[in-house]
Structure 1
Amino acid sequence: MSTRQDSRLNLSAGLGSVTVAFVLVLLKLWALGETHALSVAASLADSALDLMVSLGGLAAIIYAARPPDEDHAFGHSSAEDLAALGQSLFILVSAGVIFWASAQRLLAETAAPLAAEGRGILVMSISIVLTIALVLWQRRVARRTGSKVVQADSLHYLGDLLPNIGAILALWASAQFGFARLDSVVALGAAVMLAVGALGIGRNAWHALMDRAADPKIVAGIEKIAGNWPGVHGFHDMQTRTAGSKVFVNLHIELDGDQTLTEAHDIGAALKRAIIDAYPGTDVIIHKDPVR
């Protein structure tokens, strides 16, 4: 798949994320006013955060798609990692606020009453359907493009599903049995899930910003291709790093020093194409050394 196609897919996922988040914020604002449920408030805060970080992620996707220039010879893909790191920080703050509010309500002497549970259940059900549709599309895009921003967004929205289901259970328990404290328990669980997901997203983005090597499976795959390539007598000094959705590879191959420059070039070019075909989005630089 071409870089332009990858950019279009990432852009579609970013626009979808912003649209869904905006719709969910409006729906949950109305549901909160009707139910006064903290689990709905937690879900609303999460959706509002989704909207903010999705807008930031969309901006990062647009910026990362820009071609290399004089000041950024290797492109702008690290913008995806910066956006993903920012997402993780915002998610952690949101999780802390939700956890504190939930604990305060859970420890209160009397449970806060809920209302209009049926309307709240309807809104949360719609939220689940929209979220599932978005996550399915984001995962499809992420598998094709490797975008960390889309992956982070997908993980976050996937994490929203259980809290939404929990909110439905809390509203149902309040309507049927008057058990309002389940609302706070669900919100506590949602906060913990958000924090765990945020730490994972932040760790991966940090590693990429620090030029961590590519996934060992990718490294092993490239080594296998190079080691078995016709005309290549060996390779050494292989280096990899990740930036956003791109993997950068530097590789020295050992060739017969008596062959022509054209023959050596053809071997290196064919090997480069094979690596890119196996790992789309890879940026490969191959140095040619004579066999010693």
Structure 2
Amino acid sequence: MDSDAARQINPFSNGKSQGLARQATYASVAVAALLIACKIGAWSVTGSVAILASLVDSLLDAFASIVTLVAVRKASAPATTEYRFGLGKAEPLAALTQAAFIAGSAVLLTVQAGERLFKPQPIQASEVGIAVMVVSIVATLGLVGFQAYVIRKSGSVAIKADSLHYKGDLLANAGVISALVLTDLLGFPQIDPLFGLAIAAYILWTARSVAAEALDMLLDKELPQEERDRIKEIALSYPEVLSMHDLRTRRAGPYRFIQIHLEFNGRLSLNHAHAVAEAVEMQVMEEFPGSEVIAHQDPTTPQWHEDTDPLPDHVPGRDT
């Protein structure tokens, strides 16, 4: 197998993780639809601004989940002659779109809660709102658990962004329950909009973290240092590789792109250097599924003498 073929086998063939990511998007849309229906009923009965805040958040979650579904399907498409690096950046684009809508929802909730803070209104049938929030928490916990499993398997930034919404929902739903209970117990209607403001602040913070990660990916930020160190460790584990330089890495959705320059003794045959570089590429791709790796071979000044240190004729773990 030549190195060009090796580079192209792994990046876009992780069908299992792509299937899991799609399942997560379907589950997300279904849960969002369920929560919207429940919260519309609860808000119409109670008139709680905290429930309204949670409802608006769920509406945006539904939109974000649909955007994520489309992005995951697009990002998992194989590379083409027009898009030689694939469409992995569809995921961070979707995440950035989600962040914008999340921030917008936080602003709207702040306005609504502010108005209710100065013009408080009594909450009706709070027990209905509490029951709906409990159902929401149970459904969201199940979804977040499944998303966490999918993120571990696929590394999808779009699923991660979607999961952040629902983790925020868990806190928001708990806040709604607290607001309803405290309002009933203390008879202080301002508690409800105060919790609405707190939920809006948390949603805004979530939008900031989602946007930051999406921008890092769109601007081709390097992989985390621990991953770069592991790549270097793999490359230098081959005795023929005297050194390495110019390691360049980036992510695009679920895929990593890695370029590395390996330094070999100048007297090593081209065939042997090529075989070692190919072995390095394959091992890095095994370590980081969904990666495209290019290892360039550079000659360097000979460091040994043929009569005392003969060149190796075998690549460890590989037939040549």
Range into which the TM-score falls when normalised by the shorter chain? over 0.9
- Does structure 2 retain, via aligned residues, the 8 Å contact 1:117–1:174? no
Which residue number in structure 1 is paired with residue 315 of structure 2? none
> Which of 223, 226, 234 is 2:235 aligned to?
226
1:38-77 paired onto structure 2 within 5 Å? 38-77=49-88
* 1:184 and 2:212 are equivalent in the alignment: no
1:185 alignment partner AA: L
Match of residue 26 from structure 2:
15
Aligned-residue offset at 1:261: 3.7
Write out aligned runs for 1:230-269 (5 A): 230-269=239-278
Per the alignment, residue 146 of structure 1 pairs with 155
CA distance, structure 2, for counterparts of residue 77 and residue 213 of structure 1: 16
Give secondary structure in 1 for the equivalent of 2:81.
coil
**Matching residue within 102, 119, 131 for 1:91:** 102
1:170 Cα deviation after fit? 1.3
Cα pair 1:170 1:180 within 8 Å, conserved = no
Match of 1:174 in 2: 183
278-287 or 13-22: which moved more?
278-287
Give, in whole Å, the separation in 2 of the partners of 1:68 and 1:210: 20
For 1:159, give the aligned amino acid: G
Equivalent in the alignment of 2:224: 215
* 2:221 partner amino acid: R
CA contact (8 A) 1:45 1:94 kept: yes
Conserved? CA contact 1:39–1:187, under 8 Å: yes
Identity of aligned residues (%): 36
Mark the runs of 5 or more structure 1 residues left unpaired by the alignment: none
Q: Aligned ranges for residues 275-286 of structure 1 at < 5 Å?
A: 275-286=284-295
- For 2:170, the equivalent position in structure 1 comes to 161
Per-residue Cα deviation, 1:93-124 (whole angstroms, up to 9, x for no partner): 0001101111121123xx21111111111110
Q: Give the root-mean-square deviation of aligned CA atoms.
A: 1.4
Q: Partners of 1:249 and 1:143 in 2: how far apart?
A: 21
Provide the residue aligned with 1:82 in structure 2: 93
Are residues 1:34 and 2:55 paired? no
Counterparts of 1:186 and 1:278 in 2: how far apart (Å)? 46
Report the counterpart of residue 128 of structure 1 in structure 2. Answer: 137
* Higher-Rg member (1/2): 2
User: How many equivalent residue pairs?
Assistant: 290
Unpaired stretches in structure 2, ≥5 consecutive residues = 1-9, 302-320
Residue of structure 2 in register with 1:3 after alignment: 14
One-letter amino acid of the counterpart of residue 26, structure 2: L
**Greater percentage in helix:** 1
Q: CA shift at 1:272, angstroms?
A: 1.3
* Structure 2 Cα separation of the partners of residues 104 and 134 of structure 1: 33
